[in-house]
Chain A
Amino acid sequence: MIATFIPPDKLGTPPMSESPWALLPTASNHAAALDTLYVFITILCVISMILIIGAQLYFMVKYRKRSDNDRTNPITHNTKLEIGWSVIPSLFLIVIFVWGEVQFMDMSSPPANAIDVRITGQKWQWTVAYPQFPGGPSLSCPGNAADCEPTEKTPTLYVPLNEPVRLTMNSVDVIHSFYIPAFRVKKDVVPGRYSNLWFTAIEEGEFPVFCTEYCGDEHSSMLAKVIVLPKSEWAATVKKATELKLEEGETMAHYGERLYGINGCAACHTLDGETKVGPSFKGLYGRTEQLSDGSSLAADDNYIRESILEPNAKVVAGYSPQMPSFQGKLKDEQITALIEFIKAQK
């Protein structure tokens, strides 16, 4: 069974840290800065905890009831002490606030020379596109498998080492959130507007990307990865990853299978007959379908083409009209390849 959303056990990124108790790798400029503050707050918390709980435990033992004739201390307040424990923590709080505010402003201000990358969120996959390069979204194989099935490929954000990158993100359906833990960056991806985040990767490697705003059934599988490459390899890798055309010696149906994977068709259309959001492609071609308006027609080349470009014009009975249109996203040759692929699913 093929899926375009990536089940977490298939993502294939190496573990981010050796021990689950350790800090994550500091793979971006923000990560190093943020960890310093994180550790500072942790030290303050541990000290406060020791003082508060230490005093509590000491009192609990020292002032436990000894006899029915115990007399207790009449103290009801102590203004100096109370002012002290209001003012001193406040000073520390102000330090933390200002420190966090300065970092946040830096995280919100991308440098002018940042490389632009576009991210699109959609239930339940990310699409990564590079405005400077023509071609399709960038994908990579899981783990280090060089020769993977086209449909197993993971959406991949390739970034050059030590260069600022700015992501401009939007969503085509509900709110998602783009989160790279190893970079300590996160931003909600909201339909109807663009949001930005930026970073400079400072460590080579492969890191997971999560969706962190609940977006429905396969929220947990809306994953991607970031691959940080030396600047010299970056352009060539992106060019190769975004290339989208019929390869030498490739059949139309195989090209169609790649397109099926890249465009996220599998989120709704299975190949094994199981019904998900839309009809399965198994045995679809040529079948006579009952439509929701009561009429019926055979699923031929023209019907499939129409369903890709104007999905909600003729909906098969029992399904809801919610497929997005691929008008302008797929070339004629690609639609033909998809039809050939569907035809091959007997």
Chain B
Amino acid sequence: MSNQTHDSVEPSYLVAKKGLLSWLITVDHKRIGLMYLVATLFFFMVAGLLAILLRTELFTPGQDFMSAQTYNQVFTLHGAIMVFLFIIPSVPAAMGNFLLPLMLGARDVAFPKLNLLSFYIYCIAAVMLVLTLVMGSLDTGWTFYTPYSSTTGTAVIMATLGVFIAGFSSILTGLNFVVTVHKMRAPGVTWNRMPLMIWAIYATALIQVLATPILAITLMLLCIERVLSIGIFDPALGGDPVLFQHFFWFYSHPAVYIMVLPGFGIVSELITVHSRKHIFGYRAIALSSVAIAVISFLVWGHHMFVSGQSELAGVVFSFITFAVAVPTAIKVLSWVATLYGGSIRYTTPMWYAMIFLWTFTVGGLTGLYLSTLSTDVHLHDTYFVVAHFHYVMVGGTVIAFLGGLFHWFPKMFGRMYNERAGAISALLVFIGFNVTFGTQFFLGHQGMPRRYYAYLPEYEYLHQISTVGSWVLAAGLFLVLFTLLAGLKFGKHAPANPWGGVSLEWHTATPPIEHNFHHIPHVESGPYDFPEIDWDSAKH
């Protein structure tokens, strides 16, 4: 792809500067990316363990080891930490930070100091959210619906301020990435030669910049209502509780795409590199990311079909929601078509990409039941919805994130991991995930409501299957952790380009030097022009 040579004698970014302080005040996007990675993985583990507690409590219909209050606080923290401290920053801030400049052939992001500031803002937000645990905890659900959140005695203000501050981190990162993509592409990296990972992160960054302020304003209004008793959302003060839902979902639906678009980007990279194929429909995948980003601003009302919004609004939102299904389907079909005629290597990242196609397809198709007005009336706020969004968020984003982690781990740390352990982790995650959440679709159509710590005995059988599945899933995820930690300590040294990738991050040393490239590369071909591709056969 480039004429860059890498006869590096310079030390890698990991050891170029030494000491804790050199990490804490670094402006190197790779180090900031790694710090995000450690922080987000930590919160993934915390929120994941909370989920295991929830599933274990649900093993029997009655109340077991958690009181109603504890259960409500645990599911709230599970959701809030997963969404605001893990999924939203995981791929864009952790992986995006590490990869974006490397893939563009740049020495860093456009505003390196702002980048470090974003990280510390994220840390402050994380501390505030964790502090709610000490301050009497939070029991509103991650959605903070009013008037419950205006009236409950728990630490709502602390939590909403935490999320408010996390939003600034997200906005600044998004801004930084948009500018970087526009201004810092290496010569020859035209818009049509950007890896799809970059397109996905770019579309994500646009949503982050445009949508997050709405969340900030909404949460600010909530705090103002609580502190100053000004009626905005609480009907007791003359406010309108449904207005809160409009404001909240105006951010939080686009936020779903903040979470999942970067996963799409990762999968595009994994499938091409490990099947040695040019991506099928580059332009369609790239533009569908942008199309999804734009349409995602116009579908928020599909969370509110039974909330009491007008029927006409419901119809419009349902229609636009169906429209967003089309670009999503285009992506999935293009990925499958990419496999055609390839030479597929079953590496750990590729197994995760293959699992993604299954889980994300299930997640996407079950969205049809929920975008349909009448069937949503039955399924809304049941386990069907829980299963659907876990298939999209975990089956989409987290699976892609794990695949990406295994794919770029050698680039990040210069070490390989045990392939067999990696493949077994993928198998456990696949089985555990589908058993956990597949059964929840059936619970949902049977009418089991979400956010219940106790339930009718007729749901016990399915809940038990789901709980056992969650234990398998947890075992798989711990195996991922052990595989990577063992790789870090005992793994073989990674070659510069272990998978034979042609995008720019593989054209520098592994791990990269501090300024990424000795000379800014000059790019003359696309990111998916693998040497194995038999271009001649097309001419016959």
Contact = CB atoms under 8 A, between A and B. Distances in A.
Nearest 3 pairs of A and B residues by beta carbon: A73-B341, A181-B447, A192-B235
8 contacts: A17-B458, A20-B459, A49-B365, A52-B357, A86-B329, A89-B325, A185-B378, A192-B240
B365 A48 contact: yes
Interface string A13-27: 101110011011000
A74 B535 contact: yes
B533 interface: yes
B530 interface: yes
Contact of A37 (B278, B343, B372, B459): B372
A212 interface: yes
A75 B306 contact: no
Contacts of A192: 235-236, 240-241
Given A17-B446, A72-B342, A214-B451, 11 more contacts: A8-B62, A9-B62, A52-B361, A74-B538, A75-B340, A85-B333, A90-B326, A105-B311, A175-B241, A191-B241, A213-B381
Contacts of A71: 343, 532-534, 537
B503 to A, nearest CB: 16
B25 interface: no
Nearest to B447: A181
A181 B377 CA distance: 10
B69 A99 contact: no
Given A76-B282, A97-B318, A100-B373, A9 B454 contact: yes
Interface string A55-87: 110011001111000111111111001100110
Contact of A208 (B61, B345, B456): B456
A221 interface: yes
B446 to A, nearest CB: 6
Contacts of B325: 89, 93
B139 A100 contact: no
Contact of A63 (B148, B344, B362, B530): B344
A23 B278 contact: no
Given A65-B343, A212-B449, A214-B145, A190 B241 contact: yes
B532 A216 contact: no
Interface residues of A, number: 90
A74 B338 CA distance: 10
A59 B326 CA distance: 23
A94 B343 CA distance: 38
B457 interface: yes
Nearest to B139: A216
Interface string B355-366: 001100110011
B372 A41 contact: yes
A184 B378 contact: yes
A248 interface: no
Given A174-B147, A175-B147, A190-B241, A41 B368 contact: yes
B455 A45 contact: no
Nearest to B538: A74
B305 to A, nearest CB: 8
Given A70-B532, A71-B534, A45 B343 contact: no
B493 interface: no
B69 A101 contact: no
B253 interface: no
B235 A177 contact: no
B446 A181 contact: yes
Contacts of A218: 68
A306 interface: no
A81 B281 CA distance: 10
Interface in B494-534: 530, 532-534
A237 B454 CA distance: 31
B442 interface: yes
B179 to A, nearest CB: 30
Contacts of B482: none
Given A41-B369, A49-B365, A195 B62 contact: no
A174 B151 CA distance: 9
Contacts of B336: 52, 55-56, 59
A13 B458 CA distance: 10
B535 to A, nearest CB: 5
A216 B334 CA distance: 45
Interface string B271-287: 00001111111111000
Nearest to A322: B151
A154 to B, nearest CB: 13
A76 B381 CA distance: 42
